[in-house]
Amino acid sequence: METQVNTTPDVTPRSAGIRFGLIGAVISIAYFVILNVAGLDITRGFWSVLGYAITAALIFFAHKYYKENGDGFMVYSQGIGIAFWLGLVSGAISSVFTYLYIKFIDTSFIEAIQDKQIEAMQQQGMQAEQIDKALEISSMFMTPEAFFIMGLIGAIIASVIIGLIVTIFTQKKNPEPAF
């Protein structure tokens, strides 16, 4: 009896990206909830940088997983593919959560963001009519639906950009060309 040899790798860039995208979604949701409950601004300063560092770490570990469970190699394009899928899955899930949170759980979330914007504009010395005009423009983007779309697109773009950098260090080309 002849045994068949499986020549396809057990892991693909898509499967590695999806696996770590699911992990990233859980981390992202927990991070959002913790910072929101603590009243900290996730969009600025240290907390924003920490969020990007977490994404970089997830991409690093996804690349490591891919190489360890595949043939031990990963070319640059595969690393970017992993980062894309990670961002897509993590962004989609966390954006759905954010949408549901803003729409049904904490309906004052957008109002709190606008209050912070007003305070920042007042500190910059903006006049009342300038603040009103700025709020009028930004209000188009201050809906749960806009947060969903921007969250999804932003997660994909951020993951790919971070993936472009991380992959420089994690790629491992096969020294023997495949025929």
Sequence-distant (≥ 6) Cβ neighbours of residue 72 within 8 angstroms: 172
Average of per-residue pLDDT across 43-69: 94
Question: Which residue bears the tokens 């409950």?
Answer: 37
Q: Give the three-class secondary structure for 142.
A: coil
Q: Is the pLDDT of residue 139 over 90?
A: no
Average of per-residue pLDDT across 35-49: 87
Question: Which residue bears the tokens 């999806």?
Answer: 18
Do 57 and 132 meet the contact criterion of CB atoms below 8 Å apart? no
Average of per-residue pLDDT across 149-164: 97
Token reading at 30? 């927990």
Question: Residue 10: its pLDDT value, please?
Answer: 84
The two counts, helices (H) then strands (E), for the chain are: 6, 0
Closest CA to 122 of 132, 112, 111, 110: 132
Q: How confident is the model at residue 75 (pLDDT cuts 50, 70, 90)?
A: very high
Average of per-residue pLDDT across 122-132: 89
Average pLDDT across the chain, whole number: 91
Question: Residue 138: its pLDDT value, please?
Answer: 87
Q: How confident is the model at residue 3 (pLDDT cuts 50, 70, 90)?
A: low
Q: Is the pLDDT of residue 120 over 80?
A: yes
Q: Is the pLDDT of residue 171 over 80?
A: yes
Q: Is the pLDDT of residue 90 over 80?
A: yes
